[in-house]
Amino acid sequence: MDETGDDILASMVPVAMWDFDHCDPRKCSGKKLARMNLMEELRVGQRFQGIVMSPKGKDVVSPADKDIVAAAGVAVVECSWARLDEIPFNKIRSPHERILPYLVAANPVNYGKPYKLTCAEAIAAALYITGFDSQAEVLLSKFSWGHSFWEVNGPIIERYRTCTTPESVLAMQEVMIREMEHEQSERHRAKKEEEESGDLLYANPNHAGGAWRPHHSDDDDDGSDEGRFSAEEETVEEDFEVDALGNRIEKTAL
């Protein structure tokens, strides 16, 4: 049975962030969700008992975190990785600090780049991996590009959801990265072969099909039919004459 809007709101888990104002508040995805009352802004020193997506995390988020998320939610540390030395991590500790496994950004600034997720994408990813799809979709729906996140990462997340521990998520991550590297290598190889094959086909007119036309080297032959006539036409014209009445008649043999 599909969930109604009220069902989704009633089943939503807490979502929060510590924001250190390292990005433009007009463009910050977390700030936007906070303005819509879909994310709580935490104070420095305030505790959060759910999982926290943090640069200091050691374990990747996994389906094993589902009970923690159900009980206490997901939070994120909104900061620049280039300014981590400014963050008082000792004042925002959590018993469940996590990092994300391999995922690809769908936001327009970093589209297609691994790991370059906004805080909204990070929260949604954690919710997807732990099985809270409806809430992830609600959060992403507030962004014009939000639908792209699942389109880009859905197959990856589905494979993470087959895992049961952080270790198995990491193992799956390595498998997928090797697969992607192999696919990329195969594409490059195929492209190179196609380019080399294209050069050979261009050089060999026997393989060019209808695209190839013979080249005549005769200086007086430009390949056109202009000014041409057949020997048959010439012969026919010589075998006739015009009589005194203007009629065209066959010549009489002498």
Mean pLDDT of 135-157: 96
- Is 27 among the domain residues? yes
Cα separation, 22 vs 77, whole angstroms:
11
> Is position 161 within any domain?
yes
Q: Which residues are annotated as a binding site for S-adenosyl-L-methionine?
A: 29, 77, 100, 115
What is the pLDDT averaged over residues 142-171? 97
pLDDT tens-place string over residues 215-235 = 333 444 444 333 333 333 333
Strand partners, 76: 17, 53
Question: Does a structural domain hold residue 245?
Answer: no
Task: Report which of residues 188 and 72 the model is more confident about.
Answer: 72
Q: Tell me how many domains the chain contains.
A: 1
Annotated binding-site members: 29, 77, 100, 115
Task: Say if 204 falls within a structural domain.
Answer: no
Share above pLDDT 90 across residues of the chain, in percent, rounded to a whole number: 51
Does residue 254 fall inside a structural domain?
A: no
- Using an 8 Å Cβ cutoff, are 219 and 213 in contact? no
Kindly state the tokens that stand for 115.
Answer: 């790991």
Q: Is residue 253 part of a domain?
A: no
Minimum mean pLDDT among 51-55, 102-106, 192-196: which range? 192-196
- Residue-wise pLDDT for 79-95, tens only, equals 766 666 777 777 787 88
Domain that holds residue 83: 11-178
Asked whether residue 185 is domain-assigned, the answer is no
User: Would 46 be classed as within a structural domain?
Assistant: yes
Closest CA to 54 of 38, 74, 32: 74
